[in-house]
Structure formats: C-alpha cells, structure tokens
C-alpha cells in the first residue's frame, strides 16, 4: 500500500510541475486478450477464456510540443481461463476447467511522444509503469467455483504501445494498442501458492478534449 501511495503522490507532483503546460483530458473503453498470461503447474492456461475489459480516464500534460506525460486512472476486469488434467493411470483421468475473475483499479504514468502526421492526425508511441490495486477477492467459475483471497493486493505492469488521435469537433477521437507486461504474480493468501501472472494485449477507443 505504501508503494501505491507513493506512486499516486508522484503522479500528482508531475501534474503540479506541469500545470502551466497544455493539458488534454479524455476517457477510453478497452478490450483485451490475455496474451502472455502465465499460470503455475499443475494448472494450464485456457487461452480462449483469458479476456480483459474496462475503462480509463486520462490527462495528457504537454511538456514540449512533442513530449507529454499521461497519468491514467482506470478499472479493469481480468478473466483468467485455467484448466487442469491429471492422469490417474488405470483409473483414467481427471479434468477441470474454469475461470478466475479479478478486478483492479489501475494507476499509470506514461511518457508520450507525439508525431504529427498532418493537422488532424497524430501518432503517439508511449511507455511507462502501471500499478493495479486488486479489488476484493478473485471470483472463480466452472470447476474452480469459489472466492480466492490474495496475499498481496498490488500488481505491477510495464506498459508499451502506441496511440492515434484524429480531430473531430472540439476534441479528437483516440485509440491505442498496448501491451501490459505483468511482473507480479497473484498468490493465494493462506497457502501463498502462486496462481497466475496477468498480462494482456489491449485495444481501446475514446475521446479527448484539450483544455
């Protein structure tokens, strides 16, 4: 929790330092595939059921004509598909399949570089850290039905991607494609058993307005 507070404080400090700069605000909806998500043996990943969806509010603070800092606050629902196959020899086999749902409140600070293609269209590669605060317990379904309490409520990702914006009306339609590289695994609280490390390739669309 101390790391989360320090991260949020640093974000607000960055905003304060750039208060005289150009500021844009906006929001996006996002959908993602859990590509790269890992689970621990003896579990196996059920890739087709690993999905993310959520929404994000963001501010873009121009430091120069091309360079900006982009703080983000978002909510994400992660679904991790898992399966388990056990060979019982002469007694046959046992299989289990289901999902675990996890909700997170996400805080990110991205460095952005704007490349103006023309007066209306801009491409913006970006990168930066993201902290995810796990909200409540993991919610299982299928053969993994039940709730899971986690040892640590914090996830940490490195975010890499690129966005585009196209001026429409008073603002611009925005979209981005990003990869969230998760570096911290979710562990069950009582047993401290590692369950999974969420990662995702995400596509988002939204709208932004310059203040």
Question: How far apart are the C-alpha atoms of 71 and 22, rounded to whole Å?
Answer: 14
Residues 6+ apart with CB under 8 A from 195: 39, 40, 43, 100, 138, 148, 185, 186, 187, 188
Per-residue pLDDT, 21:
65
Count of alpha carbons within 13 angstroms of residue 62, beta-carbon side: 13
How many CB atoms neighbour CB 85 within 10 A?
Answer: 12
Averaged over 32-36, what is the pLDDT?
94
Per-residue pLDDT, 20:
47
Question: How far apart are the C-alpha atoms of 3 and 55, rounded to whole Å?
Answer: 23
Domains parsed from the chain with CATH numbers: 2-210 (2.40.160.20)
Give the lowest-confidence range in 11-25, 45-59, 108-122, 183-197. Answer: 11-25
Confidence class for position 18, pLDDT limits 50, 70, 90: very low
- Partners of residue 207 on adjacent β-strands: 27, 173
Per-residue pLDDT, 111:
97
Taking a C-beta distance cutoff of 8 angstroms, is the pair 15, 71 a contact?
A: yes
Candidates 72, 36, 31; CA nearest to 54 is 31
Q: Model confidence over 159-205: pLDDT tens digits?
A: 999 999 999 999 999 999 999 999 999 998 888 888 889 999 999 99
Is the pLDDT score of 90 beyond 70? no
Q: Model confidence over 138-153: pLDDT tens digits?
A: 898 887 788 989 888 8
Candidates 173, 179, 178, 180; CA nearest to 205 is 173
Structure tokens at 201: 């390739």
Per-residue pLDDT, 89:
56
CA dist 75 → 135, 146, 176 (Å): 10, 22, 16
- What mean pLDDT, rounded, does the chain reach? 87
Per-residue pLDDT, 7:
54
Of the two residues 93 and 20, the one the predictor is more confident about is 93
Is the pLDDT score of 9 beyond 60? no
Is the pLDDT score of 79 beyond 70? yes
Of the two residues 97 and 167, the one the predictor is more confident about is 167
Question: How far apart are the C-alpha atoms of 42 and 94, rounded to whole Å?
Answer: 12
pTM for the complete prediction? 0.84
Per-residue pLDDT, 108:
98
Give the lowest-confidence range in 2-16, 19-33, 104-118. Answer: 2-16
């Amino acid at each position: 929790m101390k790391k989360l507070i320090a991260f949020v404080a640093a974000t607000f400090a960055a905003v304060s330092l750039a208060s005289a700069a150009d500021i844009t605000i906006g929001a996006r909806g996002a959908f993602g595939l859990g590509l790269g998500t890992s689970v621990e043996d003896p579990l196996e990943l059920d890739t087709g059921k690993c999905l993310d969806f959520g929404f994000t509010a963001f501010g873009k603070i121009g430091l120069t004509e091309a360079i900006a800092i982009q703080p983000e606050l978002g909510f994400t629902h992660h679904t991790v598909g898992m399966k388990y196959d056990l060979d019982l020899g002469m007694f046959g086999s046992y299989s289990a399949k289901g999902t675990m749902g996890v909700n997170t409140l996400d805080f990110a600070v991205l460095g952005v570089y704007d490349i103006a293609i023309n007066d209306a269209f801009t491409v913006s590669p970006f990168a930066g850290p993201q902290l995810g605060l796990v909200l409540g317990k993991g919610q299982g379904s299928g053969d993994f039905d039940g709730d899971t309490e986690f040892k640590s409520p914090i996830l940490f990702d490195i975010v890499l991607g690129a966005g585009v914006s196209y001026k429409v009306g008073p603002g611009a339609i925005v979209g981005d494609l990003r990869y969230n590289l998760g570096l911290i695994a979710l562990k069950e609280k009582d047993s401290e058993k590692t369950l999974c490390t969420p990662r995702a390739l995400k596509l988002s669309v939204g709208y932004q307005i310059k203040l």
